[in-house]
Amino acid sequence: MKKRLFSVVYMFVLTLVFTSIVSAVKVFNEEKIRTNQRVKLERIILKVLDIPVKEKTSDEALGRIYARRVKGVEVRDKPLYVGYAEDGRTIVGYAFPIGGSGFWGPIYGMVAVDPEAATILGIAFYRHSETPGLGARITEDWFTRQFQGLPLHPIEGDKKIFYLKPEGTGKARDELDAVTGATGTSRAVEAFVNRELDHFLRDLWGSVKKG
């Protein structure tokens, strides 16, 4: 009986000691982890809004640029980031998060449109589980740069906003290069980005324009 009681007390004390240590480490680092996540998001928003930031810009400097040039608002419970020009008043574009299922798992990204929602300013994919070297190449510059300046229109019938075609075969402005060797990922991206853009133009743009 005494032995059993000892086991319980022993485990209790051990758990108490170790969870205290872990909690202390967690509390100590929490601030830093949250900053990392915020900086990452800010960097992506600035990038898609085409507000130039150097690769080497420190986190603090980035935070200052972000505070001056971007304002986060909510439109129908969804986040929308309004980008401003250097003067801090003229709107240069709107950025909003997009997401959908990829080939292996969900893909999250951010896209920005110009102040009239007539063309795309920039797009970035920042969380995904696509195959490294193949599907994961959707995060590379050559892929995302193709979207800049792409004309936008709500989807009518089966006329999509853009199509991903085998590399080098695209002729029209809305035919972009797919990722060679990653047909699954390319198809998935074509489907969900078209859907999300259409959703924005149809359901949210009205509210955005009103302010």
Partner 1 sequence: MPKPPTNAQIFMQGLWSDNPVLRQVLGICSTLAVTNLLINTLVMDAGLIFTVTMSSLTVSLLRKYTPMRIRMMAQTLIIASYVIIVDISIKAHLPDISEALGPYVGLIITNCIVMGRCEAFARNNPPWPSFLDGLAMSIGYSLVLLTIAVIREPLGFGTMFGFRVMPGGFTPWTVMIMAPGAFFTLGILVWILRAYFPQTAGEKKS
What is the contact surface with partner 1 in residues (CB under 8 A)? Answer: 3, 6-7, 10-11, 14-15, 18-19, 21-22, 25-26, 29, 32-33, 36-37, 40, 127, 129, 131-134, 181
> Least CB distance from residue 210 to partner 1, whole Å?
38
Task: Give 15 or 90: the residue with its C-beta nearer to partner 1.
Answer: 15
Assess contact for 172 and 58: CB atoms under 8 A. Answer: no
Strands 70-75, 78-84: parallel, antiparallel or unpaired by DSSP?
antiparallel
Q: Which CA distances in Å does 68 have to 94, 174, 207?
A: 15, 34, 24
> Least CB distance from residue 41 to partner 1, whole Å?
12
| Cα–Cα distance, 134 to 31 (Å, whole number) | 35
SS3 23: helix
> Least CB distance from residue 165 to partner 1, whole Å?
21
Number of residues in the chain: 211
> Least CB distance from residue 6 to partner 1, whole Å?
7
Task: Give 129 or 207: the residue with its C-beta nearer to partner 1.
Answer: 129
Assess contact for 149 and 119: CB atoms under 8 A. Answer: yes
Task: Give 22 or 73: the residue with its C-beta nearer to partner 1.
Answer: 22
